[in-house]
Chains A and B, each alone.
Chain A
Amino acid sequence: MTPRSRLHVPSPPARPGQEPDFSYVQISPAGAVARPDVMAAPRDIESLSLEMVRVLGDDHRAVGPWNPHLEAPELQVALRHMLLTRLFDDRMQKIQRQGRISFYIKSTGEEAVAVAAGMAMRPTDMLFPSYRQQGLHVVRGRNLVDLMCQCLSNTHDFCKGRQMPIMYHWGKGNIFSISGNLATQFPQAVGWAMGAAIKGEDRIAASWIGEGSSAEADFHYAMTFAAVYQAPVILNLVNNQWAISTFQGFAGGEHRTFAQRGPGYGIPGIRVDGNDFLAVYAVTQWAAQRARQSGGATLVELVTYRAAAHSTSDDPSRYRPKDEWRAWPLGDPIIRLKQHLIALGEWSEERHAQLEKELEVYVTACWKEAETYGTLTHGPTLDPLTMFEDVFKEMPQNLVRQREELRELLAAHPEASVVPAAPVAKEG
């Protein structure tokens, strides 16, 4: 028979109604992976891209060379940040369901990805997140009221109503503006890091991208420029298994790990248990030291699971088993750190319940305050004429004219500026 080619179409291990199956996820035992010198040559540490750095064992003890040996108070702060991130997400999702914000994206199950990396870096380092790293703002001490006001597009919104919910930025906190277009931040972070190297400063950059959006050309730009200039940047690829309805096989994860792409470009690639706070912290610390010592960039694949829907516009029960998260072999990052602290004798179920209650009260208080600055349906509202600002530093004549036109229109039709309830945005 004449040989013929056939199109291979990747298929996830389980669809709705089927048993979850994560046997494809290769997991190393905790403590099993060697920790090389931070200045090791990429070719000598290629195995890091195949194995999985893990510190927390099944007995909740921290083991092995990657153990960052953090003090108990620091671990308690980490637990608090992760828990606060989760409770904040849960609250905002509920608020979206009540129609009080237009859209939301949760980071449930992935809290360690942002919180551990954020804690392992210096406050002066620059962060270029995607839309699921709200934990970075929590780590850097951002007032939740500010984040809520952004989601509300109200009078205290630091985006002045211009961005969809969760598209935060924070100049003072060194967290860059989130784009609704995927992957664009990845090469930008490399450029920022090149800037730091040009200036000869010790600040470094980090960026986050999903495994799905690593298919965009921007990923390739980032890797190539980072390799060519040995830019001081940590390139985090969050492999949470799902990009809306497409599983990681559609991003090229079927035959090789995402971390293996690093060595392909001449950059170390490290695969890490993304739900192990200590492992993520340790790997970030390693990559940060390397970057600061002119060792160049590191690609970190954080293996985790998107426990929530992609966004409030998404319904994952249409494309994956409903309870798939329960079968996820790397567990829940919050529960794992909690159990570790309990094993150390530095935490208890009672203290945990107490903390949860305290944070709930805090989130409620923040929401109450945020609402006083206006909601989608109730004032006070921003002045619509501000929409013409910041297109340019100096407003050109066509915009001055258009602003006057709108001013007259709103004076003649005050009802036009009453914000109606609108259908919820779909998001990709």
Chain B
Amino acid sequence: MARMNMVQALNSAMDVMLERDPRVVILGEDVGYFGGVFRVTDGLQRKYGESRVLDTPIAEGGIIATAIGMGVYGLKPVAEIQFADYIYPGFDQVVSELARIRYRSAGEFSAPVTIRTPCGGGIRGGQTHSQSPEGIFTHVCGIKVVMPSNPHDAKGLLISSIEDDDPVVFFEPKRIYNGPFDGDPHKPAVPWSAHPRGEVPEGHYTVPIGRAQVVREGRDVTVLAYGTMVHVAEAAVRAAGVDAEIVDVRTLAPLDVETLANSVCKTGRCVVVHEATRFGGYGAELVATVQEECFWNLEAPVQRVTGWDTPYPHAFEWEYFPGQARIAAALKEVMEAA
């Protein structure tokens, strides 16, 4: 098995799909000749040509809209939005169009578009290169929302997304492109080569959409996390010495309620962690699901650890980032309750 970082794994997923399925096309700003500002599409245009790996004008609304048109034609477009923070000019095309074409045409038309976009902070990107807008998209019925936390899942989930007949918004936590990040920026970066989930099959395989994964088994408390925060949660749990079960949600919509509920009903305690802002965020959906499914098993109020309800500030990204200390405090709170 090969060792890949997340960038290579995502590249490999598109390589595999371009090779296998002539309907797959890649489009986005700087994705062709240059190979993407994060190098995720590096080499693909050289290999598959300019008609299958397209550089586009700088117009996110145009990218998403034309991807929809290609999808309606019968292609399988994979659109890159260079930063999740840039996706909003295409928002109407996602919400009013992409998400509802199947519904409003009673199944006669559909657009199986995958939108890939890097999200999250920790790279000194300030308020326009650090956002985690997944909660805005999970609120829209008719699109699937995915965020992997490691190279193995990134490749398998991206292949599933491209093969899916429905649209998928695929968030890539850019802080962990090159290695798992435990939330401590003082420590030297760790590469994916040292991580078990950095082992990635070279060929075709899938990780199913709609399935969460238990990444650490435990008895005392469940931590629900996804993306970068899975690694931060793991480190916080290790440091706190708690026997926590960590669930990597992976697919935010549709949600794997069963895996989450089984875990929380077993442990009786739950902490929800995400980097996005708190109010009206995706964590609220997780907390609501937990109370619906596990209310009679709960020993303590469910805690949320999230980004603050402010834009992501350039100077204070580590004070903003919901790091280990805040997760530890939440773990303590749920463990000491009742």
Q: Determine if B319 and A216 form an interchain contact, defined as CB atoms under 8 angstroms apart.
A: no
Classify the interface of chain A: helix, strand, loop or mixed. loop
Chain-B contact segment, one of A69-77, A115-123, A245-253, A260-268: A245-253
B167: CB under 8 A from chain A? no
Q: Determine if A417 and B315 form an interchain contact, defined as CB atoms under 8 angstroms apart.
A: no
Q: Determine if B185 and A420 form an interchain contact, defined as CB atoms under 8 angstroms apart.
A: yes
Q: Determine if B313 and A423 form an interchain contact, defined as CB atoms under 8 angstroms apart.
A: no
Which of B37, B174, B325 is most buried by chain A, counting CB atoms within 10 A of its CB? Answer: B37
B323: CB under 8 A from chain A? yes
Interface string of B291-309 (1 = CB under 8 A from A): 0000000000000000011
Which residue of B56, B279, B318 is within 8 Å of A250 (Cβ)? B56
Given contacts A180-B85, A382-B315, contact A245 B123 (CB under 8 A): no
Q: Determine if A425 and B125 form an interchain contact, defined as CB atoms under 8 angstroms apart.
A: yes
A54, B226: Cα distance in complex, Å: 57
A153: CB under 8 A from chain B? yes
**How far does the Cβ of A98 sit from chain B's closest Cβ, in whole Å?**
15
Chain-A contact segment, one of B57-65, B106-114, B238-246, B254-262: B57-65
A160: chain B residues at CB < 8 Å are 315
A420, B325: Cα distance in complex, Å: 16
Chain-B contact segment, one of A39-47, A139-147, A269-277, A405-413: A405-413
Q: Determine if B59 and A215 form an interchain contact, defined as CB atoms under 8 angstroms apart.
A: yes
List the count of A-B residue pairs having beta carbons below 8 Å apart. Answer: 172
Q: Determine if A215 and B314 form an interchain contact, defined as CB atoms under 8 angstroms apart.
A: no
Q: Determine if B325 and A409 form an interchain contact, defined as CB atoms under 8 angstroms apart.
A: yes
Q: Determine if A163 and B127 form an interchain contact, defined as CB atoms under 8 angstroms apart.
A: yes
Interface string of B269-289 (1 = CB under 8 A from A): 000000000110000000000
Q: Determine if B86 and A162 form an interchain contact, defined as CB atoms under 8 angstroms apart.
A: no
B55: chain A residues at CB < 8 Å are 9, 245-246, 250
Q: Determine if B311 and A420 form an interchain contact, defined as CB atoms under 8 angstroms apart.
A: no
B38: CB under 8 A from chain A? yes
**How far does the Cβ of B6 sit from chain A's closest Cβ, in whole Å?**
14
How big is chain B's contact interface, by range? 35 or more
Q: Determine if B34 and A318 form an interchain contact, defined as CB atoms under 8 angstroms apart.
A: yes
A103, B128: Cα distance in complex, Å: 13
Q: Give the nearest-CB partner of B128 in chain A.
A: A180
Q: Determine if A216 and B308 form an interchain contact, defined as CB atoms under 8 angstroms apart.
A: no
Which residue of A167, A409, A422 is within 8 Å of B317 (Cβ)? A422
B125: chain A residues at CB < 8 Å are 164, 425-427
B57: chain A residues at CB < 8 Å are 212, 215, 246, 250-252
Chain-B contact segment, one of A83-91, A187-195, A299-307, A384-392: A384-392
A379: CB under 8 A from chain B? no
Q: Which residues 235-264 in A have Cβ within 8 Å of B in the complex?
A: 243-246, 250-252
**How far does the Cβ of B252 sit from chain A's closest Cβ, in whole Å?**
23
A398: CB under 8 A from chain B? yes
Which residue of B60, B309, B318 is within 8 Å of A419 (Cβ)? B318
B96: chain A residues at CB < 8 Å are none
A339, B288: Cα distance in complex, Å: 71
Interface size on A, residues (CB 8 A): 63
A354: CB under 8 A from chain B? no
**How far does the Cβ of B50 sit from chain A's closest Cβ, in whole Å?**
4
Which residue of A157, A213, A416 is within 8 Å of B315 (Cβ)? A157
Given contacts A217-B59, A250-B57, contact A409 B315 (CB under 8 A): no
A216: chain B residues at CB < 8 Å are 58-61, 89
A23: chain B residues at CB < 8 Å are none
A381: CB under 8 A from chain B? yes
A157: chain B residues at CB < 8 Å are 315
A11, B60: Cα distance in complex, Å: 21
Which of B34, B37, B89, B126 is most buried by chain A, counting CB atoms within 10 A of its CB? Answer: B126
A217: chain B residues at CB < 8 Å are 59, 61-62, 89
B50: chain A residues at CB < 8 Å are 7, 9, 11
Given contacts A215-B59, A217-B59, A416-B325, contact A163 B83 (CB under 8 A): no
B129: CB under 8 A from chain A? yes
A96, B25: Cα distance in complex, Å: 37
Q: Give the nearest-CB partner of B34 in chain A.
A: A245
Q: Give the nearest-CB partner of B185 in chain A.
A: A420
Which residue of B62, B311, B319 is within 8 Å of A416 (Cβ)? B319
Q: Chain A: residues with CB nearer than 8 A to chain B?
A: 7, 9, 11, 15, 102-103, 153, 157, 159-164, 167, 179-182, 212-213, 215-218, 243-246, 250-252, 313-314, 318-319, 381-382, 384, 387-388, 391, 398-399, 402, 406, 409-410, 412-413, 415-420, 422-428
Extra inter-chain contacts (13) besides given A153-B314, A164-B124, A428-B82, CB under 8 Å: A7-B50, A102-B314, A161-B313, A179-B128, A216-B59, A243-B58, A244-B34, A318-B34, A402-B308, A402-B309, A423-B189, A426-B38, A428-B30
16 contacts between A and B (CB under 8 A): A15-B33, A102-B124, A159-B314, A181-B88, A215-B58, A245-B30, A318-B34, A319-B34, A384-B316, A387-B308, A387-B310, A406-B319, A422-B122, A422-B317, A426-B38, A428-B37
